[in-house]
Structure 1
Amino acid sequence: MRKIYKGYVYFFCIGIFIYIIYGCSDRNHTEKEQLNDLIVICDSLELAGDSTLLEETACLLSEYPPKEENRLRSSLYKISAAYNQGKYYYVLNALNRFSSDSAWIGFPEGEARALFLEARALQKMKLYGQAIRVYEKLITLTPDENGGKRITCIMKEGLLQMMYCYIFAGKREAGVRAFCDIDCNKNFWLRNRYPRSIKVCLAYSLYEASHLAEAASVITQALSIEEKDRENEQLYVDYGIAAVIYNQFGDIRKAISCSEQCLSILNRLNEKNGIFYALSNLIYQYQQIGEFEKSLATYEKLLQTDEIKKNPYNYCVAEVNISSLFREWGLDEECMGHLDVARRMAYLSKETDALLRVNNMELLILMDKSDYNSASGVLDSISSLLPVNDRGSFYQLYYDVYRSLLKIDSLKDPKIIKIRVQKLLMDLKALQMDNNKLNILFYLGRILESKNENALAVVAYRSARDYVDSNDLVYYKRLIFGALARSYHKLGAFAKASEYYLLYNDADRVFTERRNAGLMARFRVKYETRQKEQDNNLLRSELKLKERTLQYYSVIGISVFLLLVIIALWLIMRQRTLRLSHETDLRQHEYDVMLIEEQERQLRKMIQDKSELNRKNEELRYEIERSGAKNDLQNLINSLSPRLLTREEELNFRRQFSMIHPTFITSLREKVPSITSTEELLAMLIKINLNNEEIAYALGNNKSSVITSRSRLRKKLGIDKSVILENYIRSI
Structure 2
Amino acid sequence: MKHLPAILLLLIFLVCCTTHPSGNTPSSNKNTSITTTLTAAYTKGKAANQGHRFDEALHIIEDALNALPSDIVPDDSLLKYIRLSLSEYKQIAINSRNFRQPLQYLRTLQNPLIKQTSLYELLAIRAHLHQMAGDNQQAVALIDSFAAMPNPDDAGRLIQYSEMAGSVYFYSGHDIRKAIAQLEKAAEVYRKGGISPYMGRILSRLGSYYQEEKSYRQAAEANQAAIEFYENDSLQKVGNGIIMAYGGQSNLYLALNMYDRALELNRLACRYSIQKDSFGLSDLYRFQSEIYKNKGQSDSAAYYLHRACDVSVALGSFKGAFYNRLSLADFYLTFPDSAGRALDILLGLRTDTLKMPPFVKLQFKQSLGEAFTKNGKLGPGIRLMEDAARGYIHLGMENMRSQCIQKLMQAYLDNKMEQSFIRNYHYYKSVLDSMQHDNEIRALAAANIRFEAHKKEQQNRLLAAEVQLKDNKLKSYALGGITLTFIVVCLTGWILMRQRALKLRLQLREQEKKLSEQQLRDQSERLQQLITSRQELNNHNEELLRQLAEVQSTHEKTCDLDRVMEKLQPRLLTHEEEEQFRTAFAALYPSALHQLRSICSRATRTDELLCMLIILKQTNEEVARTLGISRASVLQNRYRLRNKLNLPEGSDLDTEIRRLLTDIN
Instruction: Report the AA paired with residue 563 of structure 1.
Output: T
**One-letter amino acid matched to 1:260:** E
- Specify which structure has the bigger relative contact order, considering alpha-carbon pairs within 8 angstroms and separated by 6 or more residues: 1
1:493-534 CA-partner distances (Å, limit 9, x unpaired):
331464355234312322222222222222213434667899
- Alpha-carbon spacing, 1:498–1:451, altered in 2? closer, same or farther (3 Å): same
Q: Are 1:378 and 2:302 counterparts?
A: no
Question: Equivalent residue for 2:645?
Answer: none
Q: Is the 8 A contact 2:200 2:230 kept in 1?
A: no
Contact 1:200 1:219 in 2 (8 A): no
1:116 aligns to 2:42 (yes or no): yes
Do 2:131 and 2:139's aligned partners in 1 also have CA atoms closer than 8 Å?
no
Tell me what 1:154 maps to. Answer: 81
SS in 2 for 1:178: helix
Indicate whether 1:240 and 2:163 are aligned: yes
Aligned-pair CA distance for 1:384: 5.3
Deviations along 1:439-459, one digit per CA (max 9) or x if unpaired, are 556545544454354413532
Question: Residues of 1 paired with 2:227 and 2:346: CA distance?
Answer: 48
3-state SS of 1:143 partner: coil
Give the match's secondary structure for 1:107: helix
Cα–Cα, structure 1 residues 383 and 252, in superposed 2: closer, same or farther, change >3 Å? farther
Distance 2:349 2:202 in 1: 38
Distance across 2 between alignment mates of 1:341 and 1:375: 18
Percent identity for Structure 1 against Structure 2? 13
Going from structure 1 to structure 2, the CA distance change for 1:375 and 1:64 (only over 3 Å counts) comes to farther
Identify if the C-alpha distance between structure 1 residues 336 and 199 changes in structure 2 by more than 3 Å, giving closer, same or farther.
same
1:321 to 248, 260, 267: 248
- Counterpart contact for 1:319–1:339, Cα < 8 Å: yes
1:183 and 2:106 matched: yes
Q: Is the 8 A contact 1:112 1:138 kept in 2?
A: yes
* Counterpart secondary structure, 1:146: coil
Q: Tell whether the 8 Å contact from 1:243 to 1:256 is kept in structure 2 after alignment.
A: yes
Structure 2 length as normaliser, TM-score? Answer: 0.53
One of 318, 321, 345 as aligned partner of 2:272: 345
TM-score, normalised via structure 1 length: 0.49
1:259-270 equivalence runs, <5 A: 259-267=183-191, 270=194
Aligned partners of 1:456 and 1:182: how far apart in 2? 47
- Partners of 2:353 and 2:61 lie apart in 1 by 42
Matched, 1:522 2:449: yes
Q: 1:404 to 1:418 in 2, by over 3 A?
A: closer
The 5-angstrom pairing of residues 269-288 of structure 1 reads 270-288=194-212
**1:477–1:381 CA distance, 2 compared to 1 (3 A):** same
Q: Deviations over 1:535-573 (max 9, x none)?
A: 99999xxx9xxxxxxxxxxx99998655235679999xx
Distance in 2 (alpha carbons) for counterparts of 1:364 and 1:444: 21
Distance 2:56 2:315 in 1: 24
Q: Return the match for 1:499 from 426, 448, 451.
A: 426
5 Å matches for 1:35-46?
A: none
Q: What pairs up with 1:326-725 in 2 under 5 angstroms?
A: 326-348=253-275, 350=276, 355-363=278-286, 366=289, 375=305, 378-379=308-309, 381-382=311-312, 385=315, 431=357, 443-444=367-368, 446-452=370-376, 453=378, 454-463=381-390, 465-466=392-393, 473=399, 476=400, 479-491=403-415, 492-493=417-418, 494-496=421-423, 498-528=425-455, 562-564=482-484
Q: Check whether the contact 2:162–2:182 (CA below 8 A) recurs between aligned residues.
A: yes
CA distance in 2, matches of 1:432, 1:109: 46
Distance 2:457 2:189 in 1: 37
Aligned counterparts of 1:341 and 1:289: Cα–Cα separation in 2: 26
Structure 2: gaps of 5 or more residues:
1-14, 333-337, 470-474, 492-665
Residues 105 and 515 of structure 1, relative CA distance in 2, 3 Å threshold: closer
User: By how many angstroms is 1:158 displaced?
Assistant: 1.4
Structure 1 match to 2:142: 221
Matched letter for residue 345 of structure 1: Y
- 1:556/1:308 CA distance change after superposition, 3 Å: closer
Distance 1:306 1:415 in 2: 43
Task: Compute the displacement of 1:482 (Å).
Answer: 2.6
CA gap 1:427/1:460 in 2 versus in 1, 3 angstroms:
farther
Matched, 1:301 2:221: no
**Residue 245 of structure 2: SS of its match in structure 1?**
helix
TM-superposed CA distance for 1:381, in Å, is 3.4
Given residue 118 of structure 1, which amino acid in structure 2 is its aligned partner?
A: K
CA offsets 1:160-180 (integer angstroms, 9 cap, x no match): 123223434xx21x2x12322
- Counterpart secondary structure, 1:456: helix
For residue 342 of structure 1, report the CA deviation from its aligned partner: 2.1
1:271 Cα offset (Å): 1.9
- SS for the counterpart of 2:195 is coil
After superposing the two structures, state which structure 1 stretch, 303-312 or 151-160, moved more. Answer: 303-312
CA distance in 1, matches of 2:258, 2:485: 58
Cα contact 2:201–2:241 (8 A) shared by 1:
yes
Relative to structure 1, is the Cα distance of residues 439 and 217 closer, same or farther in structure 2, using a 3 angstrom cutoff?
farther
Counterpart selection for 2:65 from 132, 139, 151:
139
Aligned-partner Cα distance in 1 for 2:348–2:476 = 84
Q: Which moved more, 1:225-234 or 1:106-115?
A: 225-234
CA offsets per residue over residues 138-161 of structure 1, 9 Å max, x none?
333323443525434312221212
How many residues align structurally? 442
Amino acid at match of 2:44: E
Q: In structure 2, how many angstroms separate the alpha carbons of the residues matched to 1:145 and 1:134?
A: 22
**Deviation per residue, 1:231-266 (Å, 9 max, x gap):** 544343332123223334543333222222322344
C-alpha contact 1:140 1:189 (8 A) present in aligned 2: no
Give the 3 Å change call, closer, same or farther, for CA 190–333 of structure 1 in structure 2: farther
CA distance in 2, matches of 1:455, 1:339: 36
CA distance in 2, matches of 1:532, 1:269: 26
Asked if structure 1 preserves the Cα contact closer than 8 Å seen for 2:366 and 2:385, the reply is no
Distance 1:411 1:515 in 2: 31
Shift, 1:323, TM fit:
2.0
Q: Does 1:164 align with 2:87?
A: no
Contact 2:71 2:113 in 1 (8 A): no
Cα shift at 1:286:
1.0
Task: Please say if residues 246 and 252 of structure 1, whose CA atoms lie closer than 8 Å, have aligned partners that are also in contact.
Answer: yes
Superposition pairs of residues 33-112 of structure 1, within 5 angstroms: 65-66=23-24, 107-112=33-38
User: Radius of gyration: which is bigger?
Assistant: 2
**Cα offset, 1:280, TM superposition:** 0.7
Q: Which amino acid aligns with 2:252?
A: L
Deviation per residue, 1:579-598 (Å, 9 max, x gap): xxxxxxxxxxxxxxxxxxxx
Output the CA distance in 1 between the equivalents of 2:75 and 2:478: 73
Q: Residues 32-84 of structure 1: CA distance to partner in whole angstroms, max 9, x if unpaired?
A: xxx9xxxxxxxxxxxxxxxxxxxxxxxxxxx97549999xx9xxxxxxxxxxx
Gaps of 5+ in 1: 1-29, 36-62, 74-103, 387-394, 544-554, 572-732
1:497/1:383 CA distance change after superposition, 3 Å? same
Q: For residues 466-506 of structure 1, what are the alpha-carbon distances to aligned partners after superposition, in whole Å with 9 as ceiling and x for unaligned? A: 379x6765xx5763443233133235133146435523431
Which one-letter code corresponds to 1:242 in the other structure? A
